[in-house]
């Protein structure tokens, strides 16, 4: 979902009357309650037309146009005045404005230069807003966000949601919490339990750091254009006793190895990289058996396995 990827839809010309009317409507005449309300499809269409943009389903351009749902999602995330928030794929600012209205310090990453230019002008007077024009799949989150605590609240594009979330989880200073809109299928994978078909390497990596909770299912009807699948609003809450980064990275290596051929016995896959006796001892220490598959091991068992194989704690 979100708006990190776009398709060119016309000349980069802003129709002044349409854009000014939109800005007055969305930024000034309604007050904070109006800003928090969000934007309907009828309100969004003139803006997209003025920017020469036509949403592309193939590229995951789906904008949330249900103001009541948007307000509920913001309430669920409960942004607090003065806290630091990261948003990825702001697009026309449908979520950006409600977040700013709560008094947060907001950093938004936008890839498309037309939306970036629009937001740069439209929110020029917002001193608590920082816009980064770039690709969230390439940005160094530690360099961008620093060492202080922050949360991520975003409508993530389907095409890059896993990449973004796993890169955030691999940061030295990851978000303390994330509230994100995802494709429902991806949400189910990241919240999956061991032994299920949906459980995989990204599940292990994210659940080592976060408790994952699907807060609500979201209908395609609340987006423009409506996607072909359901979405979900997902909460990731950082575990206070999460393993350190080096150990999580080792677990990620093992998970990639194990789920790369998930139907094979994990011990046989591990034996391609480690001595057989070390593998047998490690599998036993993790609570597995010689015929255990990777999909049967919980994130905590991956931790014990990595500690035994790599000698890290």
Q: For the domain that residue 264 is a member of, what is the CATH number?
A: 1.10.8.100
Whether 201 and 263 map to the same domain: the answer is no
Q: Does 8 map to a domain?
A: no
pLDDT, residue 212, reads: 98
Whether 120 and 25 map to the same domain: the answer is yes
Q: Does 7 map to a domain?
A: no
Q: What is the CATH number of the domain that holds 141?
A: 3.40.50.150
CA distance 68 to 72: 6
Q: Does 270 map to a domain?
A: yes
List phi, psi (to 5°) of 151. Answer: -120, 160
The residue among 194, 214, 238 that closes a domain is 238
| Residue 278, token pair as written in the block | 């070390």
Nearest to 38 by CA among 3, 66, 2: 66
Q: Does 222 map to a domain?
A: yes
Q: Does 5 map to a domain?
A: no
Q: Determine the structural domain holding residue 109 and report its residue range.
A: 16-238
Alpha helix (H) residue ranges in the chain:
16-23, 31-37, 41-50, 67-77, 96-101, 113-122, 141-145, 161-169, 184-190, 201-209, 245-260, 266-270, 276-285, 299-310
Q: Does 284 map to a domain?
A: yes
Whether 201 and 278 map to the same domain: the answer is no
Strands 223-224 and 151-155: unpaired
Whether 251 and 225 map to the same domain: the answer is no
Whether 177 and 193 map to the same domain: the answer is yes
Whether 76 and 198 map to the same domain: the answer is yes
| Residue 61, token pair as written in the block | 């351009």
Whether 217 and 253 map to the same domain: the answer is no
Whether 206 and 140 map to the same domain: the answer is yes
Number of compact structural domains in the chain:
2
| Residue 160, token pair as written in the block | 């890059």
Please list the pLDDT of the chain residue by residue as tens digits (313 residues).
554 333 333 333 333 323 333 333 343 333 444 444 578 999 999 999 998 887 766 556 789 999 999 999 999 999 999 999 999 999 899 999 999 999 999 999 998 888 899 999 999 999 999 999 999 999 999 999 999 999 999 999 888 899 999 999 999 999 999 999 999 999 999 999 999 999 999 999 999 999 999 999 999 999 998 988 999 999 999 999 999 999 999 999 999 999 999 999 999 999 999 999 999 999 999 999 999 999 999 999 999 999 999 998 8
Whether 143 and 38 map to the same domain: the answer is yes
| Residue 288, token pair as written in the block | 């597995």
Q: Does 46 map to a domain?
A: yes
Nearest to 93 by CA among 47, 159, 55, 59: 47
Are 183 and 28 in contact, with CB atoms under 8 Å apart?
A: no
- Report pTM: 0.87
The residue among 193, 217, 238 that closes a domain is 238
pLDDT, residue 56, reads: 63
pLDDT, residue 54, reads: 79
Whether 230 and 258 map to the same domain: the answer is no
Whether 272 and 128 map to the same domain: the answer is no
Q: Does 304 map to a domain?
A: yes
Whether 56 and 175 map to the same domain: the answer is yes
pLDDT, residue 59, reads: 55
Peptide bond just before 244 cis, omega within 30 deg:
no
Burial readout 58-75 (b: 16 or more C-beta within 10 A, e: otherwise)? eebbbbbbbbebbeebbe
pLDDT, residue 114, reads: 85
The residue among 191, 209, 238 that closes a domain is 238
């Amino acid at each position: 979902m979100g708006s990190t990827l776009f398709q060119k839809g016309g000349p980069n010309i802003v129709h002044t009357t349409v854009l000014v009317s939109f800005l007055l409507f969305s930024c000034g005449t309604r007050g904070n309650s109006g800003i928090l309300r969000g934007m309907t499809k009828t309100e969004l269409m003139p803006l997209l037309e003025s920017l020469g943009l036509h949403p592309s389903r193939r590229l995951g351009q789906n904008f949330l146009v249900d103001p009541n749902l948007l307000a509920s999602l913001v309430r669920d995330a409960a942004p607090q005045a003065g806290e630091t928030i990261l948003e990825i794929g702001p697009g026309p600012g449908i979520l950006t404005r409600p977040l700013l209205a709560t008094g947060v310090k907001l950093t938004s990453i936008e890839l498309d230069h037309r939306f970036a230019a629009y937001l740069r002008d439209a929110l020029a007077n917002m001193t608590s807003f920082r816009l980064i024009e770039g690709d969230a799949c390439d940005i160094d989150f530690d360099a961008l966000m620093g060492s202080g605590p922050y949360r991520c609240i975003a409508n993530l594009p389907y095409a890059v949601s896993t990449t973004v979330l796993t890169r955030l989880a691999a940061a030295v200073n990851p978000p303390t919490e994330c509230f994100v809109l995802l494709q429902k299928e991806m949400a189910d994978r990241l919240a999956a339990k061991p032994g299920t078909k949906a459980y995989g390497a990204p599940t292990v990596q994210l659940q080592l750091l976060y408790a994952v909770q699907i807060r609500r299912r979201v209908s395609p009807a609340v987006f423009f254009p409506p996607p072909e699948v359901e979405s979900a609003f997902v909460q990731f809450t950082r575990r206070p006793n999460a393993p350190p980064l080096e150990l999580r990275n080792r677990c990620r290596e093992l998970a990639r190895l194990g789920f790369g051929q998930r139907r094979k016995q994990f011990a046989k896959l591990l034996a391609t990289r480690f001595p057989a006796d070390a593998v047998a001892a490690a599998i036993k220490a993790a609570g597995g058996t010689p015929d255990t598959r990777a999909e049967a091991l919980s994130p905590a068992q991956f931790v014990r396995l990595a500690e035994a194989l790599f000698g890290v704690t």
